[in-house]
Structure 1
Amino acid sequence: MVLYYEKLYSQCTHIIGNLVLCYLKRLENGTDPDLSFLSSIREVSGYVFISDNDVKSIPLTSLRIIRGHVPYHYGGKGNISLYVARNAKSIEYGLEILDLRNLTVIQQHNVIFWDNPFLCHFQFRVDFNSLFPDPSRQRRILVNKNDTISSYRCDYGTYDVHVLLLSHLCCLRGCLFFVSAHFQTLFCYTLLLDGSSTARRKLACPMLTFHPPPLSPYIPEHF
């Protein structure tokens, strides 16, 4: 499948139609195949459909616009412009990073995420309303738990040390704050849309009280 997609999408910047990525598998040694050819895609006129993959990362790093001119119709749920579902091989591994760091807008229709047990940050932390031109007509569609095949819990900290997200945007605009597992040291990370972090900076901020992570509005200039 990788060779097929490479021939189909290599050096493409604008896709007139739909972007479909399915059955991308890890190599025998557990690493990902080279998917860097996907990083040239900047715009999709139809929908983006990502399903049944077990690679660790899908690098759609340049994708800025999903227009949704021709939506994917999900039975009983409505029209979808971004569909991401069942991206895991087993309880051992699956898709962890959907790198859409430059995504600016989903122009029409809805998004749906379900059965992505390792894709914690993207599906539970991104405020999709910030990507919708018309949030009154667009939404993230929820799937009944009875329709899912997985029930894993997400660990919101996947960094070099176990961290817990604190919902406080102080000291540095656009930066999210983390505290160590022992609640001793406060750090600032520039958090990318894929859930990874860039440079860490120790801050002289007051210690904050932890509560469940809030949604993060997507502000393109911060990514």
Structure 2
Amino acid sequence: MLTHLPLCLQRWDTRVESEWVSYGICLARWTWADSWLWAVCTGTDMKQRPPASPETHLDMLRHLYQGCQVVQGNLELTYLPANASLSFLQDIQEVQGYVLIAHNRVRQVPLQRLRIVRGTQLFEDSYALAVLDNGDPLDNASPSMGSAPAGLRELQLRSLTEILKGGVLIQRNPQLCYQDTILWKDIFHKNNQLARTLVDTNRSRALTRTVCAVGCARCKGPLPTDCCHEQCAAGCTGPKHSDCLACLHFNHSGICELHCPALVTYNTDTFESVPNPEGRYTFGASCVTACPYNYLSTDVGSCTLVCPLNNQEVTAEDGTQRCEKCSKPCARVCYGLGMEHLREARAVTSANIQEFAGCKKIFGSLAFLPESFDGDPASNTAPLQPEQLRVFDTLEEITGYLYISAWPDSLSNLSVFQNLRVIRGRVLHDGAYSLTLQGLGISSLGLRSLRELGSGLALIHRNARLCFVHTVPWGQLFRNPHQALLHSANRPERECGKTRPSVTCSLSASTRECPWDPGSSFLGLVQTT
């Protein structure tokens, strides 16, 4: 029997310490009676690059996907050892972008519940599913004495019955079996123009397309009465648009629709547009009553990360954010890396740092790489000088991410960002991190005003002199349950003991302050008794 379950997207409410509370974004989701909580999570964008922190790579994936059913991006599973436990993947049912399984030695990837890959992003611009280089070819020739060769052995995609866009690439997996017995034609949507397969040489899955009666896009059997509703994807259990296993376009409270209900309707009696109480915003492939935290609502009824042209961001008293059309020319805004004229810029350099002078809010990201401080003779770019970093004294908010893998030796902390309050993480480094600090010579953080990491993980590792990481109440900076601090190879806590304050910090309205570093205070993070 099918049941309808409520969904409340959640965020951390700083007004209620140590408690997850509903943000008022409740959806309905159909599922089987033995169902689990429906959840949305972000994907990653690392392609086949080795992980930035191999020591915390598995933890990163676990935090992202534990309890997740819908991946709003790409599902990339790479560089996993043979003994990796991947049970946290077992709830995933839908991937908006592509699925990449590559360079792993693990034998199984438990994606038995994955039903649909939408292909809104494609691997190498062509593939919705790519399974590459999983296992050592030498293991196949001479396995270790007494142990089976490492590497992926079978694709446990028993529920995958829909790929809306993109092809399938499966190559160089020496232990993989049965991939050539899958009838991929049945899984590709009929309008998938990129439906191609490159697969190295017992169908156990149910067919939902090639066995259908004439006129059926998807079906649960060969009879004309077995046809699924036209809004279904991946198959169905009956003929109605509430019987779909997944939605072709949008899921509206468990019913598959071509569009979400409009926010306004036309009153033919008064010739006026009036608010529609049943109106919904589009969020990915779902219809929602309000946009999730960190997303911006628009007048056309969508949830976006960037406002359209001639619109500005507006924050309401309750903290919700929306895009509002400018009544006159929009005020000048500061763009960061990845945005507008800095779209192709890799890092902050002496050539572009004055773009950020006087900025309180940067729309985009900031990245500091070795080239920032080494300069680039080829482009006649001089090295960035420490004193030039003072332009960030006024900065309070970054809408993207902050990535620092190089920093002047003369600066022992990041206090040039002492007024930075919010890193929203609407764009994430590698699709995962809103804050990355790695390979630096700093001894303390100095981010005295930081109050929020709106999305994404924090990665702080390989900073051999860095202390005071654990004095920060990271859990109170995060805004959703998939966020966490990942850290490794910083200065051991026992070596920081002589200077580390012996207090516990929390967000509070108290005026007593809790230091992040010696002789300084962290605004809003205060000592508790």
Same fold (TM over 0.5): yes
Out of 100, 113, 126, the position equivalent to 1:79 is 126
Alignment map for 1:205-216 (pairs within 5 Å): none
Distance 1:6 1:64 in 2: 20
One-letter code of the match for 2:101?
Answer: I
What is the aligned partner in structure 2 of residue 19 from structure 1? 75
Post-superposition offset of 1:39? 0.5
One-letter code of the match for 2:168?
Answer: V
What is the aligned partner in structure 2 of residue 49 from structure 1? 100
Instruction: Tell me if structure 2 keeps the 8 A contact 1:18–1:45.
Output: yes
Instruction: Tell me if structure 2 keeps the 8 A contact 1:132–1:138.
Output: no
Instruction: Tell me if structure 1 keeps the 8 A contact 2:126–2:194.
Output: no
Change (3 A) 1:111 1:14: same
What is the aligned partner in structure 2 of residue 134 from structure 1? 190
Q: How many residues align?
A: 144
Instruction: Tell me if structure 1 keeps the 8 A contact 2:108–2:153.
Output: yes
One-letter code of the match for 1:104?
Answer: T
Instruction: Tell me if structure 2 keeps the 8 A contact 1:104–1:220.
Output: no
Out of 93, 96, 105, the position equivalent to 2:162 is 105
Instruction: Tell me if structure 2 keeps the 8 A contact 1:103–1:220.
Output: no
Change (3 A) 1:9 1:96: same
Change (3 A) 1:142 1:61: closer
Distance 1:38 1:127 in 2: 24
Alignment map for 1:157-172 (pairs within 5 Å): none
TM-score (norm 2): 0.25
What is the aligned partner in structure 2 of residue 88 from structure 1? 135
One-letter code of the match for 1:45?
Answer: Q
Post-superposition offset of 1:219? 9.0
2:121 matches 1:121: no
Change (3 A) 1:90 1:62: same
Change (3 A) 1:80 1:121: same
Change (3 A) 1:111 1:25: same
TM-score (norm 1): 0.58
Out of 114, 120, 142, the position equivalent to 1:63 is 114
Runs of 4+ in 1 over 4 A off after TM superposition: 218-221
- SS of the residue corresponding to residue 138 of structure 2 reads coil
Distance 1:138 1:114 in 2: 18
Change (3 A) 1:6 1:136: closer
Which structure's CA Rg is the greater one? 2
Instruction: Tell me if structure 2 keeps the 8 A contact 1:129–1:135.
Output: no
Change (3 A) 1:10 1:91: same
Unpaired stretches in structure 1, ≥5 consecutive residues: 28-32, 146-153, 155-175, 177-189, 194-217
Post-superposition offset of 1:192? 5.8
After superposition, the CA RMSD in angstroms is 2.7
Unpaired stretches in structure 2, ≥5 consecutive residues: 1-56, 140-148, 207-233, 238-529
- SS of the residue corresponding to residue 7 of structure 1 reads helix
Change (3 A) 1:136 1:10: closer
One-letter code of the match for 1:91?
Answer: L
Distance 2:169 2:188 in 1: 13
